[in-house]
Amino acid sequence: MQHYAFAFLGTFLFTILLMSCSSFREPDFKGIENVKTTAISLSHTSLAIDLHYFNPNNTQIKLKNAEGDAWIDGTPLGRFFMDTLILIPAKSDFRLPVKLELEMKSVLKNSLAVFLKNEVMLKIEGQARIGKAGFYVNYPVRYEGKQNISGLLK
């Protein structure tokens, strides 16, 4: 009998979580800030970057981790990851500290063309683990938009 009660409670809580996530609105990307080099080698370079977002939701959420790939003007830039638990407040700006591992072969091959432009097309695709009240779900992370080169290099 207890097994049925736990199964029902689990199903009920999962249903509530899904209903609350259905009203979840994706955070608005505001920009890239505080780009810092943390390691340099001939094959890879590591950057620490703060991604500035706004949470339009009426509730706070937790971001457990995120990872994915980044492109600049259609050329692979590298892989990003974040493995810190972040509390994202409701209706406010927040910053995600991510690490970006650059593949130097690809970056050097296209760097001159990129730096001669005022703007580049930045594309990010990945996955984040978000949740509240101890329940987490995988959520797709996607962004594509033009970024000012001088703003990225500050």
Whether 18 is covered by a domain: the verdict is no
The boundaries of the domain holding residue 103 are 27-152
pLDDT tens column, 79-119: 999 988 999 999 999 998 999 998 777 666 666 666 677 78
What 3-state class would DSSP assign to 61?
A: strand
Identify which of 60, 54, 47 has the alpha carbon closest to the alpha carbon of residue 20.
60
Handedness of CA 77, 34, 148, 62 (dihedral sign): positive
Cα(46)–Cα(101) distance, rounded to whole angstroms? 5
- Number of independent structural domains in the chain: 1
Residues 91, 57 contacting (CB under 8 angstroms): yes
Cα(34)–Cα(40) distance, rounded to whole angstroms? 17
pLDDT in 10s for each residue of the chain, 154 residues: 444 444 444 444 454 454 455 567 888 888 888 889 898 887 788 989 888 889 998 989 899 999 999 888 888 888 999 988 999 999 999 998 999 998 777 666 666 666 677 788 888 899 989 888 888 888 888 888 887 766 655 5
Identify which of 13, 96, 91, 27 has the alpha carbon closest to the alpha carbon of residue 59.
91
Q: To which H or E segment does residue 19 belong?
A: helix 2-22
Residues 98, 82 contacting (CB under 8 angstroms): yes
Residue with tokens 């990872």: 67
CATH number at residue 56: 2.60.40.1820
Whether 16 is covered by a domain: the verdict is no
Whether 41 is covered by a domain: the verdict is yes
Note if the pTM is more than 0.85: no
Whether 19 is covered by a domain: the verdict is no
